[in-house]
Amino acid sequence: MKNVKITKIPPDGGYGWVIAIAMAINSFIYIPMMHCFGLIFKDTFSELGLSGAQGSLIMNLHAAFGLLTGLLNGVLLKMFGYRKIALVAAVFYFSGVTLTSLARSFQFFIISYGIIASLGLGMSRASYSLALNTYFRKRRSKAMSVAVTITGFGSIVIPQLINLLMKFYTPEGVILIFGGICAHFFVTALLLQPVKWHMKVEEEPLTVQDRNSKDEYNCDTEICDSTLSLNQNEEPAKNQRLSNIAKFFDFDLLKDPIFVNILIGLAFAVFSELNFTILIPFILNDLGLTNDQIATFLSTAGVADIAFRFLAPYIGECLKTPPRQMYIFTLIVLIIMRSILLISTHFYAILGIAAGLGIAKGVRRVYVGLIIPSHVSLEKLPSASGMEMMANGFCILSGGFILGIVRDLTGSYYFCIVIMNSVTFLTIVLWTIEGIIFKYSKKNVPEASDSLNKNNKV
């Protein structure tokens, strides 16, 4: 027995599929809700006299404020675990959406939808993402594909449901109904059982490296229990305290230039994608489409989206392409589709663009959640995800407000799309430069070692 290493590993299936379904149900509700908010309230904003910048600020604050607290979410996840944080998130989101049904002023929208609901949104995203990545190791891409595929049905069903409800209820009544639907978040949060309840035992031959290594999934770690003990040896030295704080927040991740480049690139890309998705009802309205046509556009994009969410991991396996490269491919397609939209006038051509956007979005949705987990260890994942959320939130909030101002100054969304495409292209440039530098430096290392060996022989 001494020559055998006994480790406990995540189920990579089993109850993990329940986690994936819980994540899917959660996302099924809030993602289409966020995207269709403009469809519900675009007429109300006009009646209340809200400018394009104010409407954009409300929607972008909802998307960004919860993300700005990402670093705090990472700490809370370590301290209390993803199950408890998911329950708190359910309280915030349910309360915020329900209160929005009473909003009749810009300030009320900011507080209820922009702050309270956004806090729940940010905490919910972090909780379910950590839970899924904790339960799966080798089959993460397939688990993520299942979750986002089920989520994709929301992009098909919810726009049509909203369009139907708006024929019988006021916008305030529609959002109140969705507040009731959001009560399902309490059920999905309770399904997030700690992974230590479902760990599998695995026996492997003991190697020399294993004697000094730390098991990432050891049940004594905070990830298995989904909590973190704060009992640390306190030393009077100020430097030691600062070092402990930096270690607790995993600030050493920022020393990794590749990780920093990933954060920046994701923040730019997510800003463009999210703002385009939020503004698409207004963009299509400017193009002269009716509510029925806008709902058809969103549903067409949703059908293509859901099909390629399911196919994405198999396409990646066939191409043998890592998550970040697959993500870059989707960004290229998104830039092309958004550019064509600027010059399209025929409705069926616009529906073709919707299908292209849906395909790119489906593949992107699977791989965006795998880029950070594929680069950092599971122990540092909560902090890394928190940093990602903060970077995304800052770009979404600041950039979204700028887009609103551009819309008010120019009177159209043409330049907004140009800006979003430019920012997306910047992500491609940053990651491509990093890949070239990494490939070049990798080539130089063997050459340097070969020359060193030759000198030693001489």
CATH number at residue 387: 1.20.1250.20
The pLDDT assigned to 417 comes to 87
Angle at 193 between CA 368 and CA 379, to 5 degrees: 50
The pLDDT assigned to 186 comes to 92
The alpha-carbon radius of gyration of the chain (Å, integer) is 23
pLDDT by residue for the chain (458 residues), tens digit each? 456 666 777 777 788 888 889 988 888 888 777 777 877 877 777 788 777 677 777 877 887 787 777 777 777 887 888 888 999 999 999 999 899 888 888 888 889 888 899 888 888 888 888 888 888 877 777 787 788 778 878 777 887 788 888 888 888 888 898 888 888 899 999 988 887 887 777 666 666 555 555 454 444 444 455 444 334 444 455 566 666 666 666 777 888 888 888 888 888 888 888 788 777 877 888 787 887 888 788 878 878 888 888 788 778 778 777 888 888 899 999 999 988 888 887 888 888 998 999 888 888 877 887 788 777 776 777 778 778 877 877 787 777 777 777 877 887 778 888 888 998 999 999 988 888 887 777 666 555 445 435 444 44
The answer to whether residue 364 sits within a structural domain is yes
| Start-to-end Cα distance in the chain | 49
The answer to whether residue 89 sits within a structural domain is yes
- Interval 223-233: pLDDT, tens: 455 444 334 44
The answer to whether residue 232 sits within a structural domain is no
Which amino acid is it at 275? N
Crossing angle of helices 347-371 and 257-286, rounded to 10°:
160
The answer to whether residue 274 sits within a structural domain is yes
Cα dihedral sign for 185, 168, 347, 417?
Answer: negative
Rounded to whole angstroms, how far apart are CA atoms 250 and 236? 21
Half-sphere exposure of 138 (CA within 13 A, CB side): 5
Domain tally for the chain? Answer: 1
Rounded to whole angstroms, how far apart are CA atoms 430 and 105? 41
The answer to whether residue 323 sits within a structural domain is yes
189: which 2 tokens? 């949060």
Tell me which residue of 436, 320, 331, 324 sits closest to 374, measured CA to CA: 324
The answer to whether residue 366 sits within a structural domain is yes
Contact 40, 160 (CB under 8 A): no
- Interval 136-179: pLDDT, tens: 877 777 787 788 778 878 777 887 788 888 888 888 888 898 88
Crossing angle of helices 347-371 and 323-341, rounded to 10°:
160
Rounded to whole angstroms, how far apart are CA atoms 4 and 236? 42
The answer to whether residue 288 sits within a structural domain is yes
The pLDDT assigned to 237 comes to 54
Domain enclosing residue 63, as ranges: 8-196+248-446
For the question of whether the overall pTM of this predicted structure is more than 0.85, the answer is: no
